[in-house]
């Protein structure tokens, strides 16, 4: 089965090639069939590989496949090779399985769109790139997948290209992530300079041998890799692109901007965990970034009116949790949260997508309402996802993953308490905005009558994801700890003091916080919405509202400090001031020419006079020199 | 023969040349400019004769005959040109002639 | 002999085209095409043979040579020589030549005979530059490249062609004259020392650096090549020339003419003045970085599609300058790959701009938009080339830029980091192309049809190498290293035997070794080697 590793990314890649080259001749039905089936077969293969992998986990916990040489010059060589351990296995499974469900959903969702061939081509390319990213055995190939997913993100955000706003959102995403990518590329150069190789295992091997904890080399490498991670994962300080990325179709948002691409940063940090472990300061930074953004994004999610933007900020916030986990060294906890998050976030986006199309493209929650009677399936699955997101105690998967993170944060030696409080506040906010979202969308008076659009292709993914959002957490429940045991084959364990007593108190506290959040949301949005309205109108309220609505003014800051000056500089220098130098030279020549022309008067006696003067001059020189 | 110092003769030649030059520069009528050029040529020829007399060589006289010949040729061409100019432009003013320059 | 044939076929067919052009308008196209195809066949045969030679491990620098007396009185020889680098560049020349003839099939209607004469002579000049081993011959071909190009722009160009062609001519000629002065200086200097009057590069290398005026000589060459590359601040001619030239002219300009400057650096400046080159390396890299960033900024600001693409050329060539002056074997290989990748991708972008202009009769971005509706095929091709322009992995440009940056980082981290910023700014202008031309609302009133077979063939011929070399760059690197060609830098056994080898030890003897001078001149922790054993040896 190891030898079939290559088919997992190459099937979608083949799909991309077929769909793009044959786009003129493929019918919409044919394109969606091709698009979905390549991913379906790829998922099947990955499940088979997973089964074989898990069953043989005791003996060999790594699958490998070498495909060939990419670049081979004296001094530098890089291959195409796959490396599958439990970490990549989790990612491969999630990417392909959730990806498959979303492709299935898209087959119906996009069926009337005229560019459907393009859509599936790029979605397939995305799947291929993401799978290459998580299975790559060296950093250059990882970078290949990294840029590939960035490209597809750009294309799919701007999918409806007629509206320039979509194109702008896509460009913003690409440029901001490119900034992170460049940092990562410099990190790659740095690692190569230190070790002469880009193979991940070799690098980690040398790191363990040569670098000591706290060495400046480790700090630099970790910081640069972190730069790449925050770009792709929409974390501080490069988080501004994600809310705008909601311009793309909902399945795109579900796949790329919730479940998979934005978690690439998490994968990167987890994969190179040894480098980060060698730089404790940077780890603290990771955790701090995670903690800060999860609170900030939570506040922003609270005031959004576009349902997809709420989910976008929510994604930023949840990835903040993953970063928080990674930062305190709770590697497998972070990955577990990724695992669960993929399910419920994709679910929420897909459900939101159904709501949107059934309400004739309405995104504003304040124009929705009372939908729970007319769309029961969507409503219940949405509740399942939302409950998991809010980490409703004991019954949802989200509870297990989020609480593990909170526990590990609390027990962490450097400022663990602060991190824990941040996580707690974030959890409360999450419950708050999630419940708000549900109330505004599904409760209250119905303002728009939803159309009758329903299909198995839409419903099956919703149901499957809803079920998973609930039960997926149980595999980690004590005393099973199946997930952590699985991850232990590739990630280091976190050494935590056993806080048995805390084992009950902390979840109880977070449960209370969750319920408080739900209650507050009910109070402010269902029971007494006018209070909310008054708060919003007040001076402080409107200030905070605007601040949070605009993502804490990061966008504005970047715009004023980077974007506008660059555009201004570009515009005033459009004709290149260096060119002026040369045009001035030619102008000078023209002027000299004009002066010289003055001697050509055409008057006979003038010429005679000049001749005389010249002759006298010449004779003088000859006589005296 | 009274011995005339060469310098005196040359001064005469120079004076003649200057008269001719001044005339060429200051007169506006083309015929007079031609006349002045003739004077200049003669002045040059006179200088040659003086030099020939000084060195007791016939070359000076030979040069004078050359200059005379050349002057004759040049005058005929010049007069022909002046005739043409007068025929076309009805003027013999040197400055007016330069106005045929296209702007 | 083959080398002379390569040049001869081009020149001869050029003359024939011109003559035939008076009688038949379409014939010159076929003649030109036939000549270029014949040349390509020759080159491919040479290429295949050279791959076989690579395994034999001969110790020659050149694997093909043609050396005849030309003007013995002045010591000028007609000396042509080919090694891996020249072979690659000649293959590129022929490919782009064929494509430019194809793209002008419908675009050029009047005076086709003279047009093809010019194209063939430009190509002959370029091929000559890539092959010449005698400085006078080099200069001769340098000028041969110049005049037909001037005509090309002046006669078949666009609105502002007279200005652009003059500017191009004056800049290049000015640089060329300074180069002539340097050549003569070297000539006389060498004669002063050895008593032999010769222009041959191999001979001149022996004493070139000993002159007190070596700095000035190098400056002359640098200015001439700097104008061509183009290096900031000598780049002003490029946007006008590229924009106003006909599409075929733009392809040849961007794809080939610019590379002659680089080739001059590699073949002439660095072997002749190794010490000085090393000492100006930081300055040169600064110019390269300036080119990358400033060119990108200017590209972003443009409203004329072709001008935008022209400025991207400055940006990409900046990378090559950096790659060469890093004096590192990885960066150097990256630079050569960038030469090829840039020629192909930018050439393709000019083809696309030409197609757009042909359909919509405008180059102004504010009048173009939403072309994906009517021309998805063109959109698809452009998308690949735009991605190449911004350095997307799996395309040749990425391999090139990555290797350049990696190699430079090993010796000069600061410049590498600054150059990496180019990765960010390149996205800004590249996506602008896609957005303004293909996405967004439709702004032009012309109805267009998608690309026809001829255009598909041209664009595919450019796309396939770009994608192929992105994944399998091996053919390029392997050709570069034939035949054991001690390669790009002149290996001069004779030099080493004459002077103490320690002076010349920094001349790269082969592309296979990293520059030993890195050990002494630049403090490095680790040299670019793989594995720990090597590190122990060097430390």
> Which residue of chain A comes nearest to B94, CA vs CA?
A604
3-state DSSP call for residue A117? Answer: helix
pLDDT average, residue stretch A298-310: 89
- Is it the case that residue C515 has pLDDT exceeding 60? no
| Percent of chain C surpassing pLDDT 70 | 87
Closest to C427 (Cα-Cα) out of B15, B57, A241: A241
B43 interfacial to chain A (CB closer than 8 Å): no
Radius of gyration of chain B (CA): 17
pLDDT average, residue stretch A388-392: 87
Range of weakest confidence among B1-10, B46-55, C54-63: C54-63
C183 phi/psi in degrees, rounded to 5: -60, -45
Per-residue pLDDT band at A479 (split at 50, 70, 90): low
Range of weakest confidence among B38-52, C226-240, C360-374: C360-374
* Contacts C423 to A, Cβ<8 Å: 178, 181-182, 185
State chain A's mean pLDDT as an integer.
87
- pLDDT in the model for residue A315: 92
Interval A545-554: pLDDT, tens: 888 888 888 8
Q: How many residues belong to chain C?
A: 539
- pLDDT in the model for residue C349: 94
Helix residue spans in chain B (DSSP H): 6-26, 30-55, 59-89, 94-97
Helix residue spans in A198-279 (DSSP H): 200-210, 216-232, 241-244, 250-254, 264-271, 273-277
Interval B30-61: pLDDT, tens: 899 999 999 999 999 999 999 998 888 898 89
Touching C (3+ Cβ pairs <8 A), the chains are: A
Interval A331-342: pLDDT, tens: 888 899 999 999
Per-residue pLDDT band at A501 (split at 50, 70, 90): low
Any idea what the Cα angle at residue C371 is, between residues C365 and C372, rounded to 5°?
Answer: 135
Q: How far apart are CA A32 and CA A255, in angstroms?
A: 16
Per-residue pLDDT band at A497 (split at 50, 70, 90): low
Architecture of the CATH domain B7-89? Orthogonal Bundle (1.10)
- pLDDT in the model for residue C505: 30
The residue among A601, A603, A605, A607 with the most chain B CBs within 10 A of its CB, best to mutate, is A605
* Contacts A148 to C, Cβ<8 Å: 392-394
- pLDDT in the model for residue C55: 59
Q: Could you say which of A144, A171, A582 has the minimum Cβ distance to residue C393?
A: A144
- pLDDT in the model for residue B101: 58
Burial A190-220 (b: 16+ CB within 10 A, else e): bbbbbbbbbbbebbbebbeeebeeeeebbbb
Query: How close is the nearest chain C Cα to the Cα of A444, in Å?
Result: 39
3-state DSSP call for residue A76? Answer: strand
- pLDDT in the model for residue C252: 94
Interval A574-585: pLDDT, tens: 888 888 888 899
- pLDDT in the model for residue C522: 30
Interval C74-102: pLDDT, tens: 888 888 888 888 899 999 999 999 999 99
- pLDDT in the model for residue A500: 54
Inter-chain CB proximity A162 and C233 less than 8 Å:
no
Interval A368-380: pLDDT, tens: 888 888 888 888 8
Determine contact, residues C96/C347, Cβ cutoff 8 Å.
yes
- Is it the case that residue B77 has pLDDT exceeding 90? yes
State chain C's mean pLDDT as an integer.
83
Range of weakest confidence among A31-35, A66-70, C450-454, C502-506: C502-506
Per-residue pLDDT band at C496 (split at 50, 70, 90): very low
Which residues partner with A364 through β-bridges? A306
A602 interfacial to chain C (CB closer than 8 Å): no
- pLDDT in the model for residue A448: 79
Helix residue spans in C55-156 (DSSP H): 84-103, 112-131, 135-156
The residue among C231, C402, C512, C522 with the most chain A CBs within 10 A of its CB, best to mutate, is C402
Q: How far apart are CA C439 and CA C435, in angstroms?
A: 5
pLDDT average, residue stretch A35-59: 87
- pLDDT in the model for residue C490: 30
- pLDDT in the model for residue A161: 87
In angstroms, the Cα distances linking A278 to A274, C499, C525 are 6, 50, 19
- pLDDT in the model for residue C149: 94
Query: Residue C118 CB: number of other CB atoms within 10 A?
Result: 26
In angstroms, the Cα distances linking C539 to A562, B100, C17 are 44, 86, 62
Residues 6+ apart with CB under 8 A from A194: A206, A210, A217, A221, C525, C526
Interval A75-131: pLDDT, tens: 788 888 898 888 888 899 999 999 999 999 998 888 888 888 989 999 999 999 999
B92 interfacial to chain A (CB closer than 8 Å): no
Query: How close is the nearest chain C Cα to the Cα of A115, in Å?
Result: 10
Phi-psi category of residue A70: left, alpha or beta, with phi > 0 → left and psi -120 to 50 → alpha: alpha
**The tokens of B56 are what?**
């007791």
- pLDDT in the model for residue A478: 66
Per-residue pLDDT band at C61 (split at 50, 70, 90): low
Inter-chain CB proximity C532 and A571 less than 8 Å:
no
B13 interfacial to chain A (CB closer than 8 Å): no
A587 interfacial to chain B (CB closer than 8 Å): no
Domain spans, chain B: 7-89
Q: How far apart are CA A484 and CA A380, in angstroms?
A: 30
Per-residue pLDDT band at C337 (split at 50, 70, 90): very high
């Amino acid at each position: 089965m190891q030898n079939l590793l290559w088919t997992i990314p190459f099937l979608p890649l083949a799909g991309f090639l077929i769909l793009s080259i044959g786009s003129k001749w493929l019918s919409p039905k044919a394109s969606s069939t091709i698009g979905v089936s390549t991913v379906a077969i790829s998922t099947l293969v990955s499940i088979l590989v997973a089964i074989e992998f898990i069953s043989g986990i005791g003996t060999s916990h790594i699958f490998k496949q070498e495909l060939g040489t990419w670049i081979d010059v004296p001094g530098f060589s890089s291959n195409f090779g796959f490396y599958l351990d439990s970490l990549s296995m989790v990612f491969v499974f999630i990417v392909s399985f959730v990806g498959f469900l979303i492709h299935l959903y898209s087959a119906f969702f996009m069926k009337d769109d005229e560019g459907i061939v393009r859509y599936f081509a790029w979605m397939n390319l995305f799947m291929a790139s993401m799978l290459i990213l998580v299975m790559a055995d060296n950093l250059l190939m990882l970078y290949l997948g990294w840029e590939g997913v960035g490209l597809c993100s750009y294309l799919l955000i701007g999918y409806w290209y007629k509206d320039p706003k979509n194109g702008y959102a896509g460009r913003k995403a690409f440029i901001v992530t490119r900034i992170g990518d460049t940092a990562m590329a410099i990190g790659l150069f740095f690692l190569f300079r230190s070790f002469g190789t880009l193979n991940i295992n070799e690098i980690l091997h040398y790191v363990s041998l040569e670098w000591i904890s706290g060495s400046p080399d480790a700090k630099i490498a970790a910081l640069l890799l972190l730069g790449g991670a925050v770009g792709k994962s929409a974390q501080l300080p490069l988080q501004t692109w994600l809310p705008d990325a909601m311009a793309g179709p909902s399945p795109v948002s579900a796949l790329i901007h919730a479940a998979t691409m934005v978690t690439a940063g998490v994968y990167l940090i987890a994969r190179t965990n040894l480098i980060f472990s060698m730089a404790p300061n940077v780890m603290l930074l990771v955790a701090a970034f995670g903690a800060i953004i999860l609170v900030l994004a939570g506040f922003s999610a609270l005031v959004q009116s576009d349902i997809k933007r709420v989910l976008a900020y929510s994604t930023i916030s949840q990835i903040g949790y993953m970063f928080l986990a990674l930062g305190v060294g709770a590697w497998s906890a972070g990955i577990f949260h990724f695992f669960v998050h993929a399910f419920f976030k994709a679910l929420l986006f897909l459900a939101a997508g159904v709501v949107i199309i059934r309400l004739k493209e309405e995104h504003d929650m304040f124009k929705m309402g009372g939908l729970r009677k007319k769309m029961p399936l969507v409503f219940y699955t949405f509740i399942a996802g939302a409950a998991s997101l809010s980490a409703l105690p004991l019954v949802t998967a989200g509870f297990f993953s989020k609480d593990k993170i909170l526990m590990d944060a609390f027990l962490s030696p450097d400022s663990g308490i602060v991190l824990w409080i941040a996580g707690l506040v974030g959890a409360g906010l999450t419950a708050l905005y999630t419940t708000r979202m549900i109330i505004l969308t599904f409760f209250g008076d119905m303002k728009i009558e939803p159309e009758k659009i329903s299909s198995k292709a839409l419903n099956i993914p919703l149901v499957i994801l809803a079920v998973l959002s609930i039960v997926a957490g149980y595999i980690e429940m004590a005393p099973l700890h199946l997930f952590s045991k699985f991850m232990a084959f590739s990630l280091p364990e976190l050494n935590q003091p056993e806080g048995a007593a805390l084992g009950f108190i902390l979840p109880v506290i977070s449960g209370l916080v969750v319920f408080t959040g739900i209650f507050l949301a009910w109070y402010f949005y269902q029971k007494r919405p006018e209070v909310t309205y008054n708060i919003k109108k007040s001076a402080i309220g409107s200030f905070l509202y605007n601040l949070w609505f605009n993502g804490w003014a990061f966008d504005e800051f970047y715009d004023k400090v980077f974007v506008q000056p660059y555009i201004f500089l570009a515009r005033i220098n459009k004709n290149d001031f260096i060119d002026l130098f040369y045009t001035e030279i030619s102008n000078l020549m023209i002027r000299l020419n004009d002066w010289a022309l003055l001697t050509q008067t055409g008057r006979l006696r003038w010429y005679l006079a000049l001749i005389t003067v010249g002759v006298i001059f010449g004779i003088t020189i000859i006589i005296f020199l | 023969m009274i011995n005339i110092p060469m310098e005196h003769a040359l001064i005469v030649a120079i004076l003649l040349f200057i008269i001719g030059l001044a005339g060429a520069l200051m007169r506006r009528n083309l015929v007079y400019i031609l006349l002045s050029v003739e004077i200049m040529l003669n002045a040059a020829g006179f200088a040659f004769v003086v030099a020939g007399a000084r060195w007791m060589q016939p070359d000076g006289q030979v040069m004078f005959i050359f200059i005379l010949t050349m002057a004759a040729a040049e005058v005929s061409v010049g007069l022909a040109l002046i005739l043409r100019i007068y025929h076309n432009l009805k003027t013999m003013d040197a400055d007016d002639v330069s106005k045929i320059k296209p702007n | 002999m083959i080398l002379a044939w390569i040049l001869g076929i081009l020149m001869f067919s050029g003359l024939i085209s011109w003559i035939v052009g008076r009688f038949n308008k379409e014939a010159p196209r076929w003649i030109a095409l036939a000549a270029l195809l014949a040349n390509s066949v020759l080159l491919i045969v040479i290429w295949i043979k050279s791959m076989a030679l690579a395994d034999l491990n001969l110790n020659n620098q050149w694997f093909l040579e043609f050396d005849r007396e030309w003007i013995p009185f002045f010591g000028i020889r007609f000396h042509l020589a080919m090694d891996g680098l020249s072979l690659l560049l000649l293959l590129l020349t022929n490919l782009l030549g064929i494509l430019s003839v194809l793209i002008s099939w419908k675009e050029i209607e009047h005076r086709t005979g003279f047009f093809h004469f010019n194209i063939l002579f430009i190509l002959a000049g370029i091929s000559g530059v890539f092959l010449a081993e005698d400085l006078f011959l080099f200069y001769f071909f340098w000028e041969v490249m110049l005049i037909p190009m001037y005509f090309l722009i002046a006669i078949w160009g666009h609105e502002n062609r007279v200005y652009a062609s003059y500017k191009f001519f004056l800049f290049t000629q000015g640089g060329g004259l300074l180069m002539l002065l340097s050549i003569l200086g070297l000539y006389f200097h060498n004669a002063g020392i050895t008593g032999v009057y010769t222009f041959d590069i191999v001979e001149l290398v022996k004493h070139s650096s000993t002159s007190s005026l070596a700095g000035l000589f190098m400056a002359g060459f640098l200015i001439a090549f700097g104008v061509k590359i183009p290096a900031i601040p000598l780049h002003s001619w490029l946007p006008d020339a590229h924009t106003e030239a006909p599409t075929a002219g733009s392809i040849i300009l961007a794809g080939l003419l610019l590379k002659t400057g680089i080739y001059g650096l590699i073949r002439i400046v660095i072997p002749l003045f190794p010490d000085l080159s090393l000492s100006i390396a930081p300055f040169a890299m600064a110019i390269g970085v300036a080119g990358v960033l400033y060119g990108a900024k200017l590209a972003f600001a443009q409203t004329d599609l072709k001008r935008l693409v022209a400025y991207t050329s400055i940006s990409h060539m900046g990378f090559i300058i950096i790659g060469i002056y890093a004096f590192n074997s990885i960066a150097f290989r990256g630079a050569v790959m960038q030469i090829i990748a840039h020629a192909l991708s930018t050439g393709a972008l000019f083809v696309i701009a030409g197609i757009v202009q042909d359909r919509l009769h405008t180059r102004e971005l504010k009048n173009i938009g939403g072309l994906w509706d009517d021309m998805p095929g063109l959109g698809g091709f452009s998308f690949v080339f735009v991605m190449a322009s911004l350095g997307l992995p799996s395309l040749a440009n990425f391999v090139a830029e990555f290797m350049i940056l990696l190699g430079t980082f090993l010796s000069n981290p600061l410049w590498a980091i600054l150059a990496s910023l180019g990765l960010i700014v390149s996205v800004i202008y590249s996506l602008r192309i896609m957005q303004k031309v293909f996405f967004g609302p439709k702004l032009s009133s012309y109805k267009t049809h998608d690309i026809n077979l001829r255009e598909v063939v041209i664009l595919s011929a450019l796309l396939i190498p770009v994608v192929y070399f992105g994944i399998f760059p091996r053919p390029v690197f392997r050709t570069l290293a034939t035949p054991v060609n001690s390669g790009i830098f002149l290996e001069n056994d004779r030099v080493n035997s004459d002077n103490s080898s320690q002076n010349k030890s920094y001349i790269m003897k082969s592309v296979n070794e990293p520059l030993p001078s890195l050990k002494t001149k630049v403090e490095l922790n680790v040299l670019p080697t793989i594995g720990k054993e090597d590190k122990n040896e060097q430390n």
